[in-house]
């Protein structure tokens, strides 16, 4: 179980990385906590790995214009301990303890989690729930893609082969921001069987503009739009019932589609309580 042969280059700067990614079969290496495992298993055979870990300026966490910007190379452990994230992006703060284990969190990056886009991962769902966006640098320059448009299909995103994800941005939490997070994983740190990241605004009884984003139930993070509408209308029961239409999970080795849909309903009830809590 050794990786196939590939070349390695350490990018000095973003432009350099983008240039190196022009090599046919090149792949970007960030934290490597998913990529190197797939290389070891020979599930992927890039010609060149472009290591962006040495590029400066991608590990910051900063509030700008009412948005919290998190650099692509921010490690999970840094995010977990970040006062800025706890204050301005409490949903991400709640998700962090569920991600991987100590050694993985020391090395894995937030940008890598988003770019790898594992459908059972926490952060892509959080990004969509928060209505965040992804900052991308590519051969044509920089662009911003809304999280809703970023996750295309199983392990497929809006990133092109020469693109580098440089940061994610989420609206900073305000006094009326409500978030909820819950996941069911068989063991601590495992990818979720089913998980739910949710955000809303407090508005009297029912949460306003709730965004309910499931993970582990599809090929991408899945917004449960009918359930969102029902929840906004004040009916949790209808919201749970609507999940049967919103979600179309596939059977996998952990659970059948029916079990996942049931669990999604349980999570919705639990997360709805969190959304109500001040």
Partner 1 sequence: MKIVQDMPPVLSALDRPNSYIGRSVPRPNLARLMQGRGQYVSDVVLPRMAHVAFARSPHAHARIRAIETGRAKSAPGVIAVVTGAELARVMTPWVGVLTHLKGIKSAPQHALAVDRACWRGEAVCAVVARSRAEAEDAIELVEVDYEELAPVTDAETALDPGTPVIHPDLGDNLTFERRHEAGAPDTAFAEADEVVEATFRFGRHTGVTNEPRAVVADWNPGEQRLTVYHGTQAPHMMQNLFAKHLALEEHQVRVITKDVGGSFGIKVHTYADEMATVALSKLLKRPVKFVADRIESFVTDIHARDHRVQARVAVKRDGTITAFEIDDLTGIGPYSVYPRTSGIEANQVVNLTGGPYTCPNYRALARVVFQNKNVMCQYRAVGHPIATAVTEGLVDLAAMRIGMDPVEIRRRNLIADDAYPTSGPSGIRFEQLSHHASLDKVLAMMDYRALRAEQARLREKGVHRGIGLASFIEVTNPSAAFYGVGGARISSQDGVTIRLDAQGAIICHTGVTEQGQGAEAVIAQVAASAFGVPIARVRVVTGDTDNTPYGGGTWASRAAGIGGEAAWQAGKALRANVLAVAGSILQAAPESLDIRNGTVIDRETGRERIGLDEVARVAYFRPDTLPPGFQAELMATRHYVPRAWPFAFTNGIQASLLEVDVETGFITLLKHWCVEDCGTVINPQLVDEQVRGGVVQGLGAVLFEHCLYDERGQLLNGNMADYLVPMACEMPDIAVGHVVSPTADSELGAKGAGEAGTAGAPACVMNAVNDALAPLGAATITEMPITPSVVLRALGRV
Partner 2 sequence: MSPHLVDIRLTVNGEPVNERVEARKTLVDFLRDDLGLTGSHIGCEHGVCGACTVRVDGVVVRGCLMLAAQCDGARVETIEGVSDTGEIADLQEAFEKRNALQCGYCTPGMLLTAQELLARGGVPDRSAIREHLAGNYCRCTGYHAIVDAVESVAETRSKG
Does the footprint of partner 1 cover residue 67 (CB under 8 A)? no
Show contacts with partner 1 in window 189-208 (CB under 8 A): 189-191, 193
Helix (H) or strand (E) holding 208: strand 208-215
Does the footprint of partner 2 cover residue 189 (CB under 8 A)? yes
Q: Which of 16, 59, 86, 106 binds partner 2 (CB under 8 A)?
A: 106
- What is the nearest approach in angstroms of partner 1 to the Cβ of residue 265? 9
Does the footprint of partner 2 cover residue 100 (CB under 8 A)? yes
HEC secondary structure over 126-183: HHHHCCCEEEEEECCEEEEEEHHHHEEECCEECCCCCCEEEEEEEECCCCCEEEEEEE
How many chain residues touch partner 2 (CB under 8 A)? 33
First CA to last CA distance, the chain: 50
Strand order in the sheet with 177-184: 177-184, 194-201, 208-215, 222-223
Determine the interface stretch with partner 1 among 196-204, 222-230, 235-243, 261-269 (rule: CB under 8 A).
261-269
Q: Which of 241, 259, 274, 276 binds partner 1 (CB under 8 A)?
A: 259
Does the footprint of partner 2 cover residue 202 (CB under 8 A)? no
Q: How far apart are CA 262 and CA 55, in angstroms?
A: 44
User: In this structure, are residues 48 and 6 in contact, taking their beta carbons and an 8 Å threshold?
Assistant: yes
Show contacts with partner 2 in window 8-27 (CB under 8 A): 8-10
Show contacts with partner 2 in window 69-88 (CB under 8 A): 77
Binder of residue 262, out of partner 1, partner 2, none (CB less than 5 to 8 A by kind): partner 1
Q: How far apart are CA 72 and CA 169, in angstroms?
A: 10
Integer angstrom CA distances of residue 16 from 7, 152, 162, 253? 16, 27, 11, 42
Q: How far apart are CA 155 and CA 170, in angstroms?
A: 22
Q: Which of 60, 84, 86, 104 binds partner 2 (CB under 8 A)?
A: 104
Binder of residue 256, out of partner 2, partner 1, none (CB less than 5 to 8 A by kind): partner 1
Residues in the site for partner 1, rule: CB under 8 A?
A: 1-5, 41-42, 184, 186-191, 193, 253-256, 258-259, 262-263, 266
């Amino acid at each position: 179980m050794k990786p196939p042969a590939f070349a390695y280059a350490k990018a000095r700067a973003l432009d350099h990385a983008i240039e190196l990614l022009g090599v046919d079969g090149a792949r970007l290496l960030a934290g490597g906590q998913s990529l190197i495992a797939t290389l070891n298993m020979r599930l992927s055979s890039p010609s060149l790995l472009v290591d962006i870990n040495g590029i400066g300026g991608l590990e910051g966490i900063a509030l700008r214009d009412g948005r919290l910007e998190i650099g692509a190379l921010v490690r999970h452990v840094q995010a977990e301990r970040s006062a800025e994230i706890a204050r301005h992006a409490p949903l991400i703060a709640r998700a962090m303890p569920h991600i991987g284990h100590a050694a993985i969190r020391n090395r894995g990056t937030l940008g890598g989690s988003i770019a790898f886009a594992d459908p059972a991962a926490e952060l892509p769902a959080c990004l969509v729930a928060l209505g965040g966006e992804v900052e991308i640098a590519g051969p044509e320059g920089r662009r911003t893609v809304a999280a809703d448009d970023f996750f295309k299909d199983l392990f497929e995103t809006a990133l092109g082969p020469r693109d580098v994800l440089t940061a994610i941005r989420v609206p900073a939490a305000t006094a009326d921001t409500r978030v909820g997070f819950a996941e069911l994983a068989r063991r601590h740190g495992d990818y979720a069987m089913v998980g739910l990241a949710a955000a809303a605004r407090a508005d009297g009884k029912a949460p306003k503009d709730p965004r309910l984003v499931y993970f582990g139930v599809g090929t991408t993070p899945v917004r449960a739009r009918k359930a969102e509408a029902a929840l906004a209308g004040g009916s949790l029961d209808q919201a749970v019932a609507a999940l049967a239409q919103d979600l179309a999970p596939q059977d996998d080795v952990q659970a059948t589609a029916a079990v996942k849909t049931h669990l999604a309903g349980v999570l919705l009830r639990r997360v709805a309580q969190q959304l109500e809590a001040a």
